A and B are shown apart, each in its own frame.
Chain A
Amino acid sequence: MILGVLVFSIIALFPTLRYYSLSPEELSKKPKEEVRRMLKRALALGLDLKGGMYLVLKVKPVEKENVKEARNRVLEIIRNRIDQWGVFEPVIQPAGDDRIIVQLPGVMDRERARELIGKTAVLNFHLVEDIDNTKKILDKIDDALMKSLKESAESPLKRLLFLYRGDIVFEEVYLDSIKNMLKREEIKKITPKDKIFLFGKSFEANGKKLRSIFLVNREPDVKGRYIQNAIHSVYQGGDPALQNTPVVNLSFDRRGAIDFARVTGENVGKRLAIVLDSIVQSAPRIIQKIPTGNAQITGIESMEEARDLAIILKAGALPAPVEIEEERSIGPLLGKDSIKRGIQSAVLGGILVMIFMVIYYMFAGTVANLALILNLIIVMALLSAFHGTLTLPGIAGLVLTIGMSVDANVLIFERIREELRAGKSLRAAVEAGFSRAIITILDANLTTIIAAFVLIWFGTGPIRGFGLVLALGIAASFFTAVFVSRTIFDYFLLVKKVKKLLI
């Protein structure tokens, strides 16, 4: 069992050790995707250690709108923008009915982040150029690119693109290079003045992250602010093939209905892109002229997707101002400094405690020290296995665990000393010491674990990390004291038949 725990710990810790043992140069050599995969499996560092921004936003719905609905919409809008920005592993989550927590690791550009979150969403409809014309323009771009980048291989742009379910797509890793190509002056001249390339949302297919690219009208064909409502639902019309599939019902006000009727009437068969903050959310095909201002979007894959689309469509109609209630940012240098100080404290604290234990309990102290080291390994392993996050208070919790977790062993050893003093033989004293101390250890340590759970409940990120480490540390110390120390004692008493041990 002990061996099992040890093996489990080492396996759980392996990705973490591998990732953090690599130097920055080695990391930069590896492909981005592999680094991301490694990082995902390694023990994550909290924002306070790796640097970044933490924001708490309060949503203030206008008029008499449901707060939760407004919050969900803002959540989608912000997620959309942050995806576009390309922050690595952002966290955007609701908190309570009207709050949103945003965590942006590695981001220190506070002004940019505030602008990203604070500005009003823009939702519009743009007609999409048909795929043949788009391909023709892409060919022209490639010709021009080859002329200006003489050494480059054939069709520098088009070789990154391929067709997927009728859309032109590419792997997300090439997003920056494609953007750079399209930004070049000579390329801007080739793209028709009234058109613009826009990218779709990131999605996953065959294990790869893909983005689509659309050539759309530069000016919106229908403005999103004319949207009155958008509701997701299931299809109940006449087409048997669409029965019970998810749909979004969209309604425009009178002004919007006029525009929508004209655009749909003139462009049956073309696609109309729904664009939120320059990102194409969906590009449904116009099947027929819609004169009433009540449209239905079909062909949506899941109810979830329909819900998201309805939320986004409402962004055109209803702004929901947010207020930044809490904003914290930590620079990467301070984070690194914190890690360094944390490790120094843990090492020095550990050494001092171990020296003390050996002086005070001699042989038994050595056993306790082994248990302590194993204890720390187990805590880190459990934290990795649970995908926990190591925060600065978490490191402090680890240091505290070093001091507190010898308690279980101390309780046992003191008991053994007492039993020896009472005249018992070594074996009987060890036996009695362990069995009597266990109840006390359970009683005493459970209260600290209760306190740790209150901490996990009360705290946000960093404090939660502390509570988690504290709880794991105490639980692991019970295991190591009761099983590991016991096994070592038994080995010396029963197998080696030692008659005298220094306790």
Chain B
Amino acid sequence: MEFFKTPNIDFLSKRRFFFTISGFFFLFSIILIFTKGPSYGIDFKGGTLLHIHTNNDVSPSDLRGALGEIGLAKSEIQDLSLKEHIIKYSEDIEPDSILKFLTKKLNTKIEIERTERVGPRIGHELRLKAIYAVLIGMLLMLIYIAIRFNLPFGIAAILAIFHDVIITLGVFILLSRDITVPVIAAFLTIVGYSINDSIVVSDRIRENLKKRQGRFIDIANRSINETLSRTIVTSGTTLLVLIVLLLLGGPLLFDFAFALTIGVIVGTYSSIFIVGALVTEYEERKKKRGVRKR
């Protein structure tokens, strides 16, 4: 079976259109980052998380009411079911005392499934470290591509990564999902994955440039078409397992799998529509400038 026998889709002549689309999403995400801002999980801002399992059903409103009585009205409550709740708060209160209070108030046995307490200072340090990690990851990619290919390809690929990570972050902010350590790990994986796709396309462009005569834009377009089937198949199998992980992985892996899913979709899009287009744009402008000079 094959999806595309010998595809010949003209991606590159419509590149301005895709630049506009990407530019729009990119700008929109940037605006979100600076207005709404990412909501950090307690890994990065400090605070306490309590994941509890109650013996009897507890409605979310009862739980919120009970927490309000001990000054935790502002805490964030996530209900996984009537018996499983996640409470997040930033006040400096011992989880054990809350547990004792809730046990009495809600009249149910409560078991702790998971607790996390992070001091504000270490949260701040982790946040810096996470930003460094993503930047260092991108820098290493740039160096690698610049050595293996040339600078225009490298810059195009890095712009694509930037595009992928920022838009994924934008989706996270839009849906008010927390940025946690696993989500940052997902971002780093997106960095590696996105460039992987870009390299396969770039590799083919380089190979075809050596073999064939003709305009850069035609060769680039042909290369994207030749690798299209592979790009779709690999992204497809990766998305397949990610969707399985989203559905079956449970609450602890959801955000991680979600970030990867968005990242893979955006990354696949950018490696088909953006990377080749950016290099083409560069080559075309260089040519025009060359013509004018003559």
Contact = CB atoms under 8 A, between A and B. Distances in A.
Interface of A: 48, 56, 58, 108, 110-111, 323-331, 333-334, 337-338, 341-342, 344-345, 348-350, 352-353, 356-357, 359-360, 362, 392-393, 396, 399-400, 402-404, 406-407, 410-411, 414, 417-418, 421, 439-440, 443-452, 454-455, 457-460, 462-463, 466-467, 470
Given A341-B250, A404-B234, A393 B112 contact: no
The B interface, classified by DSSP as helix, strand, loop or mixed, is helix
Interface string B183-205: 01100110111011101100110
Contacts of B260: 400
Interface in B122-155: 122, 129-130, 132-133, 136-137, 140-141, 144-145, 148
27 contacts: A48-B252, A110-B96, A323-B119, A325-B119, A327-B115, A327-B117, A328-B116, A330-B114, A341-B253, A350-B241, A357-B237, A392-B253, A393-B185, A402-B241, A403-B238, A410-B233, A410-B234, A411-B200, A414-B229, A414-B230, A440-B200, A443-B200, A444-B196, A447-B199, A451-B192, A451-B193, A466-B185
A455 B203 contact: no
Contacts, number: 204
A333 B96 contact: no
Contacts of A400: 189, 238, 241-242, 245, 260
Interface magnitude class on chain B? 35 or more
B117 A353 contact: no
Contacts of A457: 133
A364 to B, nearest CB: 12
B256 interface: yes
A450 B200 contact: no
A324 B95 CA distance: 14
A109 to B, nearest CB: 11
B234 A110 contact: no
A322 to B, nearest CB: 12
B2 A417 contact: yes
Contact of B240 (A56, A323, A327, A352): A352
B96 A411 contact: no
A411 B232 CA distance: 11
Interface string B104-116: 0000000111111
Contacts of B148: 443
Nearest to A454: B137
B236 interface: yes
Given A396-B245, A400-B189, A403-B240, 5 more contacts: A324-B119, A392-B253, A404-B234, A445-B196, A447-B141
A360 B233 contact: yes
Interface in B273-291: none
A366 B183 CA distance: 34
B130 A458 contact: yes
A338 B291 CA distance: 63
B100 to A, nearest CB: 11
Q: Which of A58, A111, A440 has the most CB of B within 10 A?
A: A440
A447 B242 contact: no
Given A396-B257, A418-B226, A455 B250 contact: no
Contact of A331 (B113, B141, B249, B250): B113
B241 A403 contact: yes
Interface in B212-229: 226-227, 229
A459 B132 CA distance: 12
Nearest to A356: B237
Contacts of A411: 200, 230
